């Protein structure tokens, strides 16, 4: 017999639903009773307790801001510290009519209307009820005394001691360590309101910004009993804040100062790296500014002056300055040529003073208009021969050139912990199609071979590429922090090392770079002659304004600020590199004439002892250079 077909039985369904619904009704009544008894508990049983808390606001929770971590240079010299400072705070709820109190403050210190606007903005930013908001910072003894005398007409006003950031080295590290500033409204929205409840400052740039979490520490709090006027009577409970972690930088203050002196007042940028460790030893962007100005709030006028200065002191040239790298990338182009097999060290090219693509009239000029004759790789590097590299770039093609340059870090952010760094630009076919909707033209590859055209690099990228030349392709991302709270920074995203098919290619190019300074026809041989040790380097020039076809660079016709930037990259000692530098002198014109001596001064400061001799730890048989020796 087949099973009976079940018909839809509305009566059964309705009964089922009715049962369930009535059960739901019982649960609803039970839960409502639960809510009511909870309210009874709060409003009748605990009434006393809650009403004292609410009526008197007797008990306050005060947050205790943590002490921000100290920043040291690699030798333990303090770069960023906290010092006690007195500020005037206003508690809105205790001031009564706080705008009147504000007027009294303005009158008392004879301040202008601008300050009042600023103060009012700060007070309106106050977050929690009964939280004192700092209004004026860095009070002098006299100001504190005036407040004390006039306390009777300043309800809600107190003088609070707090720790504020101080940068004893002033402008030396403004572009690397950065500075802290008052938390603005935008940041306030993003911050964890709990851990910043007692903190008024936050890292704005540089290391202060990048390691904000580590430097900041953990907030503590105390429960205090206060009287009706808000005076603290006793502390009921206290949880100590945890100070932020200290950071030791890889920067060396002596080298930093030496590098700044080497620039001798000119505008420019210098980066010095340790190619073995990735430590940034010096990072100079000149002119600079005093970061202390920003800590307690810079005045509109002072900020305007900094911002509008023609010298752009606020501009971080090392990390944000984008320059065509010029001839400084020729060593890397040479590596690309050798490794992809389009040239060998002995490949020769005839240089009549220019290069022409087949079936094209355009002449791509060598910097030496008379030509260098037959040129091999070594001569091409030491003479910085453009024709050779036009030819090499043409043989490589844009795709291979782009790939190799990318492996050297161009067109990407290379640093581990530098907040402001920009990626620069390493053009490719895809990039040009997306950017201009145009195909790639062969001529553009040629000028890319000598570091001109679309390509843009930061001084940091140049230094890193040079460090890679020195370490034969070993990638370590440059970093400013050596240890954070005693721990080394971890880099879990190191780019892959550059491994060449033939390791000898490194030696050929390195030798060429040595001959820039120590070869008979080297472009920077004058600098090399004076050196106590062998240096490998490369000069370069970054055009500021384009020179038309057939026109010559005439310095007299060009305004000072439109003159070329001088570039020089170097590492030393050549056999066992301990330091790699990149130098950019703004409008310095000559890489070998202006930037190379600066680079040598930086190398000297790191490698020589006070007697002018190579430091013993860097000395080895193949490093020392007998006076007058030239190959």
Separation CA 221–CA 219 (nearest Å): 7
- 150 vs 243, beta carbon nearer other proteins: 243
Check residue 310 for interaction with other proteins (CB under 8 A).
no
Enumerate the H helices of 340-376 as residue ranges. none
Nearer to other proteins, 219 or 349 (CB): 219
Instruction: Choose, by CB under 8 A, the member of 1, 3, 44, 361 that binds other proteins.
Output: 44
Over the window 70 to 109, marking each residue x when it contacts other proteins by CB under 8 A and - when it does not, the resulting string is -----------------------x----------------
Buried b (16+ CB within 10 A) or exposed e, 138-149: ebeeebeeebee
Is 25 a binding residue for other proteins by CB under 8 A? The answer is yes
Which residue number, 54 or 310, has a Cβ lying nearer to other proteins?
54
Alpha-carbon gap, residue 624 to 613, rounded angstroms: 10
Its sign, for the CA torsion 93, 96, 98, 102, is negative
What is the three-class DSSP state of 553? coil
21 binds other proteins (CB under 8 A): yes
**3-class SS letters over 91-158:** CHHHHCCHHHHHHHHHHHCCCCHHHHHHHHHHHHCCCCCCCCEEEECCCCHHHHHHHHHCHHHCCCEE
Smallest distance from other proteins to CB 36, Å: 6
Q: Which two tokens stand for residue 489?
A: 């920074």
Phi, psi of 291 (to 5 degrees): -65, -20
Asked whether position 50 contacts other proteins by CB under 8 A, the answer is yes
Residues 465-504 touching other proteins, rule: CB under 8 A, are none
Number of residues that bind other proteins (CB under 8 A): 46
Count CA atoms within 13 Å of residue 144 on its CB side.
11
How many Å is the maximal CA-CA distance in the chain?
A: 117
Smaller CB separation from other proteins, 20 or 433: 20
417 closest CA partner among 63, 53, 71: 71
Task: Confirm or reject binding of residue 193 to other proteins (CB under 8 A).
Answer: yes
Per DSSP bridges, beta strands 71-72 and 247-249 are parallel
Characterize 281-319 residue by residue with b for buried, 16 or more Cβ atoms within 10 angstroms of its Cβ, and e for exposed.
Answer: bbbbbbbbbbbbbbbbebeeeeeeebeeeeebbbbbbbb
- The closest alpha carbon to 169, from 178, 159, 182, belongs to 178
Determine which residue in the list 87, 89, 176, 197 makes contact with other proteins, applying CB under 8 A. Answer: 197
Nearer of residues 61 and 575 to other proteins, judged by Cβ: 61
Show the site string, 108-147: x = touches other proteins by CB under 8 A, - = not.
---------------------x------------------
Q: How far is the CB of 421 from other proteins (least distance, A)?
A: 27
Q: Which stretch binds other proteins (CB under 8 A): 25-33, 263-271, 327-335, 604-612?
A: 25-33
What string of DSSP letters covers 574-598?
SSS--EEEEEEETT---IIIIIHHH
| Alpha-carbon radius of gyration of the chain | 34
Region of 1-9, 287-295, 316-324, 465-473 interacting with other proteins (CB under 8 A) = 1-9
Interaction residues for other proteins, span 370-399 (CB under 8 A): none
Q: Rounded to 5, what percent of the chain is helix, strand, coil? A: 40, 20, 40
| Pick 28 or 233: Cβ nearer other proteins | 28
Q: Does residue 6 belong to the site contacting other proteins (CB under 8 A)?
A: yes
With binding defined as CB under 8 A, does residue 46 bind other proteins? yes
Among 26, 42, 144, 530, binds other proteins (CB under 8 A): 42
Spot the catalytic one: 327, 428, 539, 590: 327
Q: In terms of CB distance, is 193 or 442 closer to other proteins?
A: 193
10 binds other proteins (CB under 8 A): yes
Q: Does 12 bind other proteins (CB under 8 A)?
A: yes
- Annotated active-site residue 327? The verdict is yes
d(CA 157, CA 149): 12
Among 63, 382, 532, 590, which residue interacts with other proteins (rule: CB under 8 A)? Answer: 63
Catalytically active residues, by annotation: 327
- Which residues are near other proteins by CB under 8 A? 6, 8-10, 12-14, 16-18, 20-21, 24-25, 28-29, 31-32, 34-36, 38-40, 42-44, 46-47, 49-51, 53-55, 57, 61, 63, 93, 129, 193-194, 197, 219, 221, 223
């Amino acid at each position: 017999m087949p099973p009976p077909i079940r018909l839809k039985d509305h009566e059964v369904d309705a009964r089922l639903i009715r049962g369930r619904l009535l059960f739901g009704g019982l649960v609803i009544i039970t839960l409502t009773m639960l809510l009511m008894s909870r309210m009874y508990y709060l409003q009748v049983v605990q009434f006393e307790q809650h009403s004292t808390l609410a009526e008197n606001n007797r008990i306050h929770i005060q947050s205790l801001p943590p002490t921000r971590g100290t920043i040291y240079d690699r030798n333990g010299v303090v770069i960023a510290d906290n010092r006690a400072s007195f500020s005037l705070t206003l508690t809105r709820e205790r001031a009564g009519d706080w705008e009147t109190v504000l007027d009294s403050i303005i009158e008392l210190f004879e301040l202008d209307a601008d300050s009042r606007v600023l103060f009012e903005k700060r007070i309106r930013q106050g977050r929690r009820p009964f939280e004192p908001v700092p209004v004026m910072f860095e009070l002098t003894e006299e100001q504190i005394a005036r407040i004390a005398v006039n306390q009777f007409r300043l309800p809600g006003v107190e003088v609070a001691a707090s720790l504020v950031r101080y940068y004893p080295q002033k402008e030396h590290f403004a572009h690397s360590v950065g500075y802290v500033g008052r938390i603005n409204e935008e940041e306030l929205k993003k911050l964890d309101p709990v851990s910043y409840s007692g903190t008024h400052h936050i890292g704005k740039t540089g290391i202060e910004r990048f390691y904000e979490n580590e430097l900041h520490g953990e907030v503590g709090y105390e429960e205090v009993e206060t009287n009706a006027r808000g005076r603290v009577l006793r502390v009921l409970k206290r949880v100590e804040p945890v100070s932020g972690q200290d950071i030791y930088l890889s920067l060396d203050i002596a080298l930093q100062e030496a590098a700044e002196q080497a620039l001798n007042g000119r505008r420019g940028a210098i980066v010095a790296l340790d190619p073995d460790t990735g430590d940034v030893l010096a990072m100079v962007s000149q002119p600079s500014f005093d970061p202390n100005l920003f800590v307690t709030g810079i005045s509109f006028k002072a900020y305007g002056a900094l911002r509008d200065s023609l010298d752009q002191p606020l501009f971080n040239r090392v990390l944000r300055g984008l320059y065509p790298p010029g001839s400084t990338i020729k060593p890397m182009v040479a590596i690309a040529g050798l490794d992809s097999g389009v040239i060998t060290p002995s490949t020769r090219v005839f240089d009549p003073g220019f290069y022409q693509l087949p079936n094209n009239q355009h002449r791509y000029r060598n910097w030496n208009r008379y030509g260098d004759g037959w040129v091999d790789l070594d001569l091409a590097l030491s003479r910085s021969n453009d024709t050779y590299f036009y030819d090499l770039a043409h043989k490589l093609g844009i795709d291979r050139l782009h790939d190799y340059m990318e492996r050297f870090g161009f067109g990407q952010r290379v640093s581990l912990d530098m907040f402001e760094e920009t990626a620069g630009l390493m053009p490719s076919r895809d990039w040009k199609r997306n950017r201009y909707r145009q195909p790639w033209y062969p001529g553009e590859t040629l000028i890319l071979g000598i570091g001109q055209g679309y390509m843009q690099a930061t001084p940091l990228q140049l230094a890193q590429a040079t460090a890679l030349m020195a370490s034969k392709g070993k990638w370590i991302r440059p970093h400013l922090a050596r240890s954070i709270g005693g721990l080394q920074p971890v880099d879990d995203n190191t780019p892959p090392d550059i491994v060449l098919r033939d390791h000898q290619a490194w030696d050929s190019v390195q030798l060429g770079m040595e001959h820039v300074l120590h070869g008979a026809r080297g472009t920077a041989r004058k600098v090399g002659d004076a050196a106590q040790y062998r240096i490998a380097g490369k000069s370069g020039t970054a055009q500021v304004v384009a020179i038309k076809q057939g026109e010559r660079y005439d310095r007299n016709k060009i305004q000072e600020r439109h003159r070329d930037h001088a570039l020089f990259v170097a590492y030393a000692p050549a056999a066992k590199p301990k330091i790699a530098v990149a130098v950019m002198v703004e409008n310095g014109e000559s890489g070998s004439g202006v930037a190379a001596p600066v680079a040598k001064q930086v190398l000297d400061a790191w490698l020589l002892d006070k007697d002018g001799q190579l430091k013993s730890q860097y000395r080895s048989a193949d490093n020392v250079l007998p006076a007058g020796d030239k190959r």
